């Protein structure tokens, strides 16, 4: 069995859905299908969640969501059924909006998760009809019936034991439905969505559909997990920055994990763990050009270059703390980190000297979890050290193999970057990456220079 996940652009229009459906038809092993909301819909719903009822903007967004999905429905052979499904979803969505929660407590985040889930509900409802149009026998299942989570709405943690038990139960009860012996049967479900023990809808964090798909692949013992997206695999770097960047044939789980963390937008960071654990190869490919080989993520790639890929994360903040107290004082760093953790600030890179420590923080405007360096944090830190904050930096990650054990690589990297001011370096902790913090305005040139010297 192959678990196939289609991202938002791969189901973003009728043509895209139809192309993705053809991919499923092409291989009868592709019988467990996980999809995202249509591209942009989760952003629209998230914006809606922050607007009061009945604003022009809110009504405009609802209208856009409705028209987008009705447009897909109206091109489907099962037009009547598909339109009816969209209309019903839109009615439920409006009803949910009118129950808007305003308090900043648990019930509000719970309400937002239920709202966001409409994106995946709409896309799966429609995709089911597009698959039926291709004469596939589709069973559409609510992901919350499988993916069991805690109640941290917005970023719920999955209970693997319960989730895997539920999936096993389903397989036993539906014996043969999703097996190779029954070509044409397809189980379709939502990515990103789970439910807590009380059955309340939760979400796994933005981009979480990859993670859902990886969990399904592990639990079902899939022979492969496919991530269908709008690019032809994992690239050596962003082709918009370096025109000679190209798709990589094969990459290890370790490299893919680093890449997903350091800005490669193709994969969600949490997805690597389940597939690596279960040793399930992953194929990343483009649903627009499915004949291209894409990238295989495997445990042991044949080729392990020292430098495989480069990625950039912008909007980085560097915080430097100085204190003479740091000298031979146990507990100084513990104090710093406990203050940051109290304010839910997550630190990426750290370098220390005798009397100072520098930390990088990701302040990028991701739709949610933006790091805020509030007055309160700065005051708490200022109490026992001097704090300096620099903005507009970028983190360039060099990802590859044995970077901490390859003679001369540091020298080569530094001499390649001799024209640039490097604010901070992180090297040695990981075999798979070396990170440089540079001015945001230098980031693209740094990547171009490195790509030319190390990848070509
Ligand atoms: N639709 C969700 C999002 O946009 C999940 C996903 O696409 O992976 O974050
Ligand atoms: Mg994604």
Q: Could you read off the pLDDT tens digit of each residue along the chain, which spans 456 residues?
A: 999 999 999 999 999 999 999 999 999 999 999 999 999 999 999 999 999 989 999 999 999 999 999 999 999 999 999 999 999 999 999 999 998 876 666 678 999 999 999 999 999 999 999 999 999 999 999 999 999 999 999 999 999 999 999 999 999 998 777 766 677 899 999 999 999 999 999 999 999 999 999 999 999 999 999 999 999 999 999 999 999 999 999 999 999 998 988 876 778 889 999 999 999 999 999 999 999 999 999 999 999 999 999 999 998 999 999 988 777 778 888 999 999 988 878 888 999 888 899 999 877 654 344 556 788 889 999 998 999 999 999 999 999 999 999 999 999 999 999 999 999 999 888 899 999 999 999 999 999 999 999 998
CA distances from 53 to 101, 105, 115, 154, 161 (A): 11, 19, 14, 21, 40
Residue 14 Cα to ligand 1 midpoint, Å, equals: 19
Check if 207 has its Cβ closer than 6 Å to any atom of ligand 1.
Answer: yes
Pick the residue whose CA is nearest to atom 5 on ligand 1.
207
Check residue 353 and give its pLDDT.
87
Residue 68 Cα to ligand 2 midpoint, Å, equals: 20
List own/partner pairs for 275-281 with CB under 8 A and 24 or more apart: 275/214, 275/217, 275/218, 275/225, 277/218, 278/217, 278/218, 278/221, 280/217, 280/218, 280/222, 280/223, 280/224, 280/225, 281/224, 281/225
Domains along the sequence of the chain with CATH: 2-230 (3.40.1160.10), 308-454 (3.30.2130.10)
Q: What is the position in ligand 1's atom list of the atom closest to the CA of 37?
A: 1
Directed axis angle between helix 443-450 and helix 409-416, to 10°? 130
Directed axis angle between helix 56-75 and helix 79-98, to 10°? 160
Q: Which residue among 203, 208, 230, 260 has the greatest number of ligand 1 atoms within 8 angstroms of its CB, and so is best to mutate?
A: 208
Check if 205 has its Cβ closer than 6 Å to any atom of ligand 1.
Answer: no
Six token digits for residue 56 = 């022009």
**Is the pTM for the entire model greater than 0.85?**
yes
Q: Which residues surround ligand 2, an ion (CB under 5 A)?
A: 7, 207
Tell which residue, 363, 264, 279, has the closest CA to residue 309: 264
Check residue 63 and give its pLDDT.
98
Per-residue exposure over 30-42, b if at least 16 CB sit within 10 Å of its own CB, e if not: bbbbbbbbbbebb
- DSSP 8-state assignment for residue 240: T
Phi, psi of 91 (to 5 degrees): -65, -45
- DSSP 8-state assignment for residue 412: H
Burial class (CB in 10 A: 0-12, 13-18, 19+), 278: middle
């Amino acid at each position: 069995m192959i678990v196939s996940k289609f991202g938002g652009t791969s189901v973003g229009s009728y043509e895209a859905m139809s192309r993705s459906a053809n991919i499923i038809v092409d291989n009868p092993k592709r019988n467990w299908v996980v999809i995202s909301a249509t591209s942009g819909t989760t952003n629209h719903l998230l914006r809606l969640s922050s607007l009061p009822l009945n604003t022009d903007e809110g009504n405009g967004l609802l209208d856009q969501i409705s028209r987008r999905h009705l447009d897909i429905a109206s091109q489907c052979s099962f037009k009547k059924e598909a339109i009816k499904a969209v209309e019903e979803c839109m009615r439920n969505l409006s009803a949910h909006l009118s129950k808007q929660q305003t308090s900043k407590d648990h019930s509000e985040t719970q309400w937002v998760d239920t709202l966001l889930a409409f994106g995946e509900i709409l896309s799966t409802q429609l995709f089911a009809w597009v698959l039926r149009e291709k004469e596939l026998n589709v069973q559409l299942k609510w992901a919350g019936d499988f993916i069991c989570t805690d109640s941290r709405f917005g970023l719920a943690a999955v209970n693997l034991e319960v989730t895997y038990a539920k999936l096993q139960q389903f397989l036993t009860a539906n014996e043969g439905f999703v097996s190779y012996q029954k070509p044409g049967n397809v189980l379709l479900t939502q990515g990103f969505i789970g439910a807590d023990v009380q059955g309340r809808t939760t979400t796994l964090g933005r981009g979480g559909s990859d993670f859902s798909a990886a969990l399904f692949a592990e639990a079902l013992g899939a022979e492969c997990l496919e991530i269908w997206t709008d690019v032809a695999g994992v690239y050596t770097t962003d082709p918009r920055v370096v025109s000679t960047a190209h798709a990589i044939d094969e990459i290890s789980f370790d490299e893919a994990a680093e890449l997903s963390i350091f800005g490669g937008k193709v994969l969600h960071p949490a997805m690597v763990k389940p597939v690596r654990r279960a040793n399930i190869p992953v194929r990343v490919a483009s649903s627009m050009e499915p004949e291209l080989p894409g990238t295989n993520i495997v445990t042991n790639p044949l080729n392990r270059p020292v430098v495989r890929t480069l990625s950039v994360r912008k909007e980085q903040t560097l915080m430097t703390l100085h204190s003479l107290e740091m000298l031979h004082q146990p507990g100084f760093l513990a104090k710093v980190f406990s203050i940051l953790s109290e304010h839910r600030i997550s630190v990426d890179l750290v370098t220390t000297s005798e009397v100072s420590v520098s930390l990088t923080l990701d302040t990028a405007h991701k739709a949610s979890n933006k790091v805020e360096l509030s007055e309160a944090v700065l005051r708490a830190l200022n109490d026992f050290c001097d704090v300096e904050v620099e903005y507009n930096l970028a983190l360039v990650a060099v990802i590859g193999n044995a970077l901490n054990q390859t003679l001369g690589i540091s020298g080569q990297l530094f001499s390649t970057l001799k024209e640039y001011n490097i604010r901070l370096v992180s090297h040695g902790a990981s075999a798979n990456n070396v990170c440089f913090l540079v001015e945001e305005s230098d980031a693209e040139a740094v990547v171009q220079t490195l790509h030319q010297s190390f990848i070509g």
